[in-house]
Amino acid sequence: MLKKSEKKNFVLEDKGTITSKRALHIAEDLSYNFGEDVVVYDVKKVSPFVSYYIVASSTSERRLRALVQTAKEALYDSYQEIDHIEGKNGSEWVLIDCKSIVVQLFTKEQRAIVKFDELYKDVPHKIVVQKEEPIFRRKKREAALY
């Protein structure tokens, strides 16, 4: 049983405000499903095409494939249309382009090489750690039972 303080997702670093519930729901889902170092970046002021980057790491290529599937399901659940996916098979870096939201999934090694986080360290961002099943995912699962 989780302590009361552990029942909610907690934020290790909150620089600025992330206003997109969709982006946060997707990040929570990735974190709950073994995504590591999940960060949502608000890049509206520095990018003319993208509003949010969601970045997550995995410990292996196999787990990366599972994160890609989780991201696709979370995007579908958030009514976010997927425009394009780059790096599907055998890649250590997968990009899922949804126009206003872009999900970047890396293996830990590839993320260290690319240094994506250093590029956007000055924009508003939130590190998300989800310890229990996200509420929107739980409601969907419970609704399917009835």
pLDDT by residue (tens digit) across 66-112? 999 999 999 998 888 999 999 977 889 999 999 899 999 999 999 99
Domains in the chain, number: 1
Give pairs for 98-102: CB < 8 Å, separation 24+: 99/49, 99/50, 100/50, 100/51, 100/52, 101/20, 101/22, 101/23, 101/26, 101/50, 101/51, 101/52, 101/53, 101/54, 101/75, 102/50, 102/52, 102/53, 102/54
* Digit-coded pLDDT (tens) for 31-44: 988 899 999 999 99
In a domain, 15, yes or no: yes
| 17 pLDDT higher than 80 | no
Q: Which domain holds residue 136?
A: 10-145
In a domain, 3, yes or no: no
pLDDT at 135: 61
What predicted TM-score, i.e. pTM, was given to this entire model? 0.80
| 18 pLDDT higher than 70 | no
